[in-house]
Amino acid sequence: MSLAPATPDATHEAQRPRRGSRIIAIMRGLLRDEVGCLALVILTIVLVMALFAPLITQYDPLFQDRRAVLKAPSLAHWFGTDDIGRDVFSRVLYGTRISLFVGLTVVVITMVVGGMIGMISGYFGGLVDMVIQRIVEALDTLPSLVLSLFIAAMLGPSVRNVIIAVSLAQIPRFVRIIRSEMMKIRGQDFILASKVIGSSPLRIMLTHGLPNLMPTMLVIGSLAFGIAIMTEAALSFLGVGTPPPNPSLGTMLSHGTRFIGMAPWLIIFPGLMLTISVLALNLIGDALRDVLDPRQR
């Protein structure tokens, strides 16, 4: 009895590790890294506090208690109150929730849009690559913060517009990195074998390109998460981000600078939460890079 020869796609599928096992291996490697594990724990605590803010805080972030104006931190108000009697602790947690929501949404949009454009540019090359790269270079001429500020100022202050502005500023960098990686992958044997058996470019990019690009996308995404949070805070600080009275860490920092002498807690606690969140995300990104590419250690 003769056995039918395995197709190149079938052979590659058999040799490729399952995605579930790859994710488990990444998590195990991240947990072995002491700094990465600590950063993951800190970020988890921040996420839980922001997610369950209504259950943790006893004050509405918009409630104004005129009898408790500029009160120092105490058992009644853990982080004190601001100049119109609002509880700073509740505003920090709700502001962190907005920052994390903006950061996560920006990362998802950037990974989907930037990843797809980068794969198309790197896979096809030629005229398609030239047109895409000229557009990317035009957007990349300005620093990301300046570009985000310009777009947000045109669209007006709102959470949705902040997401649009930050995403458009982050996509060019993502496209260039993914394009470079895709150009390396497209010359591999399994890509050539898929072309021989008639696989469409879309199928090749989704079944072969995307899994091989995912480690790079995860590292860039974790770093972009922190950049998005910082950019949202910067835009809110300048008055074109999350509009008041909605709590935002950037708006709280901007507002607290007027009372830095008499009520320093108005900038200390929002600043600490912003610093801790961004630092944890950056450390996780460094740990992921070490796990996914041991040569970077």
pLDDT of residue 26: 67
Whole-structure pTM value: 0.82
Of the listed ranges 54-63, 125-134, 136-145, 164-173, the least confidently predicted one is: 136-145
For the stretch 195-216, pLDDT in tens is: 888 778 888 888 888 888 888 8
| C-alpha to C-alpha distance for 131 and 191, rounded to whole angstroms | 24
Nearest to 241 by CA among 144, 165, 170: 165
- 213-225 burial: b if 16+ Cβ within 10 Å, else e: bbbbbbbbbbbbb
For the four alpha carbons of 83, 86, 87 and 90, in that order, the dihedral sign comes to negative
Count the Cβ atoms, other than its own, within 10 Å of residue 198. 7
- State residue 20's pLDDT score: 53
Say if CB 249 and CB 68 are below 8 A apart: no
Q: Which two tokens stand for residue 55?
A: 């259950």
Please report the DSSP string for 53-120 in residue order: HHHH-SS-TT---TTSSSPPS-SSSTT-B-TTS-BHHHHHHHHHHHHHHHHHHHHHHIIIIIHHHHHH
Enter the tokens of residue 42: 């800190």
CA trace torsion 284, 143, 217, 196 (10° rounding): -160
- Tell me phi and psi for residue 222, to 5 degrees: -65, -40
> Is the bond preceding residue 245 a cis peptide, omega within 30 degrees?
yes
Record: fold of 83-279: MetI-like fold (1.10.3720)
Q: How confident is the model at residue 191 (pLDDT cuts 50, 70, 90)?
A: confident
End-to-end CA separation in angstroms for the chain: 51
Please write the tens of the pLDDT for every residue from 64-103.
888 888 888 888 888 988 888 899 999 999 999 999 999 9
- pLDDT value of position 101: 92
Quickly state the pLDDT bin for 3 (edges 50, 70, 90).
very low
pLDDT of residue 288: 80
C-alpha–C-alpha distance, residues 102 and 96, integer Å: 10
pLDDT digits (tens, 9 = 90+) for 12-35: 444 444 555 666 766 676 677 788
What three-state secondary structure class fits 197?
A: coil
Q: Of 176, 179, 177, 285, whose CA–CA distance to 229 is shortest? A: 285
